[in-house]
Amino acid sequence: MPATTTPVRSGLVLLITACAQFLVILDETVVNVALPSISRDLGFASASSLAWVIDAYMLLFGGFLILGGRSADLFGRRRVFLVGLSLFVLASLVSATTHTAAVLVVARGAQGLGAALLSPAALSILVTAFTDLAERRRALGIWGGLAGISGVTGVVLGGILTDTASWRWIFLINIPIGLALAAVARAAVPPDSPARRPGRLDSVGATLVSAGLLTLVYSVISTAHRPWTHPLTLGGLTLAAVLLIVFVLRESRTDEPLIRLRLFAHRATSVANVMMILGAAGLYAIFFFITLYMQVVHAWSPLRSGLSFVPIGISIAVFSGVAIQLMPRAGARTLLITGLTLAAVGQLLLLRTTVDGSYLTQLLPCLVLIGCGYGLSLVPLVTAAVSGLRPDEAGAGSGLINTAQQAGGAIGIAALATVATSRFEHALVTSAPRDAMVTGFHTAWLLGAAVTVAAALIALLLPPLRSEVDAAALQGAA
């Protein structure tokens, strides 16, 4: 963005990119508490078919993020942002108005594809729009904090809309918000400038990485319906590995790669992506299993369950702001280690939960601690992921970190759900069903805490990063 950009325009850029990311993450969790109502209205045949309302979104979102990021670099961030937003809004309209289960699943996949274009383009716009160090720190802080806040808001909003109106409103609300964002984006985001060098999309690389990621995410998601040792699961994981290895070999030899492998030479970028996979696995699993604990074990309504997550959302919001202020002095590494340790302690405290336990004494302290921990962590994690990248690599870098988030979330939920189910079945031999279920949840939370601790240890490999992005690398950004 030119140096003459006014504060008002900069504020609008921050608003629309932050709101776009909010919508993208919101739609991953807003559906959860509405699934029983959707199943009754549209006549889904089984629980496994109903799961595709969530899985279709995650599958397309995670599978096309890298392609979306590179497209933003090649074809223009503003252009790809508007295309992705338009597809997202149109798919939301179809989701809200359909009376057919199959159409809803297809529309949710289209939403995921729109999100895969929208999210990396939005982050790329944000990174290149703010050249002042303090302003960029605040902007990235808001962006990073939204990852946790949006997930919590989705659960709360889904419960409120499903109980008070209809599940269709969880999709309808995207339409006026999306249209408003598109109008403001056209006014606030400068038109895409001509590329300094002619570029082309590596279609072979795009096919390989998208097919590899789609196969990986699909294989992992499907473990909710079949075991990890099933031939189809093992075959899918093997095929995904082969496709991604061939993709890496291809990228190392082509003149116009989809992802320049030198991105991984940036220690902060590589470490941040590994940490995002682990951190997302823990965070997504927390929402998944606590929601089941509230609605199945305690039989709470969608509204009560959603409102019970408010403390974690407030904690994430407050401590994201704290992280913004502390980044220049403490650095990303210290904040990440501190935050992830707090989150792990909160997860371990979930082992105190019982069938008849109190929300105030058992759940609330855990939610607050987890929120504080992830609030401190998300800002420096996003900061580290884009640190030192050139303007023409911003889209690919943002696509990578978002892919890591989606892959981590899908793998975390699927893997921990498999473990929890196995533990539940063993406990059911000697325990009542609700007690056995809590035993399964405890196993998942313990493993989730272990994954979070692993992420905290990996943070030791990060440089301090007291300034969020190398300012010189972003000079002259469009």
What does the pLDDT look like over 55-82, one tens digit per residue? 788 778 877 887 887 788 788 889 999 9
Distance CA 422, CA 444 (A): 10
DSSP 305-357: HHHHTHHHHHHHHHHHHHHHHHHHHHHHHHHHHHHHHHHHHHHHHGGG--TT-
CB 351 within 8 A of CB 231: no
| Of 8, 17, 23, nearest in space to 177 by CA | 23
Q: Is the pLDDT of residue 228 over 50?
A: yes
Please report how many Cα atoms fall inside a 13 Å half-sphere around the Cα of residue 206, on the Cβ side: 13
Q: Read off the tokens for 360.
A: 């105030």
117 compared with 295, residue with greater pLDDT: 117
Mean pLDDT of the chain: 81
Q: Which of 125-129, 147-151, 332-336 has the highest mean pLDDT?
A: 332-336
Query: From CA 138, how far away is CA 92, in angstroms rounded?
Result: 31
pLDDT at 167 over 80: yes
Average pLDDT over residues 214-231: 79
pLDDT reading at 5 higher than 60? no
Mind listing the pLDDT tens digit for each residue in 234-275?
999 999 999 989 988 888 887 777 777 777 777 888 888 899
Taking the CA atoms of the chain, what radius of gyration do you get in angstroms? Answer: 21
Structure letter (DSSP) for residue 464: -
**pLDDT score recorded for residue 171:** 92
Per-residue confidence at 395, pLDDT binned at 50, 70, 90? low
Tokens 């989606």 correspond to 406
Of 406, 281, 290, 255, give the one whose Cα is nearest residue 340. Answer: 281
Print burial letters for 78-108: b (CB count within 10 Å at least 16), e (below 16). bbbbbbbbbbbbbbbebbbebeebeebbbbb
pLDDT of residue 161: 84
- In the chain, the percentage of residues whose pLDDT exceeds 70 is 86
Q: What are the φ and ψ backbone dihedral angles of 191, each rounded to 5 degrees? A: -55, 150
Tell me the pLDDT band of 343, cut-offs 50, 70 and 90.
Answer: very high
* Confidence band of 446 (pLDDT split at 50, 70, 90): very high
